[in-house]
Structure 1
């Protein structure tokens, strides 16, 4: 996955899934154009003109997104709720929901690529240098946090993070579910190394593209980096990614099979709230 500079531009892509953890989806969505520059500011010192351009483009993309994409997200949430209500959480069903989500992400990636190209093309050599150093620091930080620790500690930390993510959706996990989360984490093994290597390779490709940002080849190359990242994956990372997805689907199927009626109702209520929050957005009603 890319780091915060492009991820900030792409933050709109996955908001439906990441903002679901917020208590006030409507508030977070309305202020997304204000939140994104803070992420950019972690990596670049943008000048006033660049900040104004980013703000203008984000407002336009958010309006487009709410009007044309949110209705599809509501339908997607309905499919997920029906899947849970009918106890139909299967590997095949999860693959279908994942494919639908990827298509939605792809549509937004295509929409914002021209704006991303315009913003990145306007960066100075000094800002590109900042980007290069920020990427290097990012990899060093993540290497220290996720790789330079004994594998058993990585596995335990990954299981702990997953439990923390699941609790808001299922409530407190039971003993069988906690054990299943641990076996899921063990099955992923040393995936952190492949993930960080892929992240670093993506960053390097973006820096190389930035060196040609004033040429006609820049936007097509950026489109590949933002829209077709998988085309740049190494064979090792592709295998790791496919295993990650397989293990994630298997985990979710098993957790739902091990869930209590109270947990399933908890999940249905949470999904209903997410849908209600999205459906009540003023931009969607307008």
Structure 2
């Protein structure tokens, strides 16, 4: 659940690295060993890199991952220990979750700041055809998300959101009981039409990036891209800002109530899952070397 830290857009080097290096819900060691394959595939959703760009990206990724493993991963072990202690001591509260969320944001921020220079160099080197492909890919991205998440009738959106959440929760708590399933549904209902604000804000961010890309040969590009990647909340639409605050509050409330309604077996299941994630981190070769 909260261990999955990053939902950043994949249109840049920053987003890809955040997604792969912070996603403890997946096979962390596999991600580290195969980034040279995974990253170009992800970036390929938005642009077609040439051989020279792919080679450059691979070299930079190895440097960033070495830094990340040596300087950042040890802190994640402490963070996971705190999460496990919260569950073990029945201290999963709104205040505690706010603290863990703030720590997660700080971790993402450090990674984003470290990688922004590489992202700047990569994006500045894109030619006009690649930028055009990115622009078209963004349009398609928004169209597909609108069709999937907005054009669907609201009652169906709510049901789909609840179903997705139950699926995400299962690897952490096992099968939900009746009270927990009901709580997931009330959480989904409380979010209402947030999909519309989320996608509109996503489109707004993409538009701002494309405007910056049009100025990539000028001195203003680097600071503008830094804002887009490191301080993207400063560019949020007013509607999304309100929706985001509600989303975070509702998520914390949901987690608190799910733990409160959990059985001893579910809490043990969660503890074991968190322990496995911690082991995945601690056994990475880059930590041992």
Distance (Å, rounded) in 1 between the aligned partners of 2:18 and 2:125: 23
Distance (Å, rounded) in 1 between the aligned partners of 2:104 and 2:229: 16
C-alpha contact (below 8 Å) 2:94/2:256 kept by paired residues: yes
2:255 matched residue in structure 1: 252
Once superposed, what is the RMSD of the aligned Cα atoms?
1.2
SS at match of 1:89: coil
SS at match of 2:24: helix
Q: 1:16 deviation in Å?
A: 5.6
Offset from partner CA, 1:58-77 (integer Å, 9 cap, x none): 11111100000000000000
1:221 matched residue in structure 2: 224
2:4 matched residue in structure 1: none
- Asked whether 1:13 is paired with 2:18, we answer yes
C-alpha contact (below 8 Å) 2:14/2:229 kept by paired residues: no
SS at match of 1:10: helix
C-alpha contact (below 8 Å) 2:47/2:130 kept by paired residues: yes
Q: 1:10 deviation in Å?
A: 2.0
SS at match of 2:216: coil
Gap runs ≥5 in structure 2: 1-6
Gap runs ≥5 in structure 1: none
C-alpha contact (below 8 Å) 2:21/2:32 kept by paired residues: no
TM-score when normalising by structure 1: 0.96
Equivalenced residues, count: 283
Offset from partner CA, 1:89-141 (integer Å, 9 cap, x none): 00000000000000000000000000000000000011111111100010000
Relative contact order: is structure 1 or structure 2 higher (C-alpha 8 Å, sep ≥ 6)?
A: 1
TM-score when normalising by structure 2: 0.95
1:63 matched residue in structure 2: 66
Give every structure 1 segment of 4 or more consecutive aligned residues whose post-TM-superposition deviation is greater than 3 Å.
14-17
Of 75, 79, 96, 1:76 maps to 79
C-alpha contact (below 8 Å) 1:25/1:277 kept by paired residues: yes
Distance (Å, rounded) in 2 between the aligned partners of 1:17 and 1:38: 18
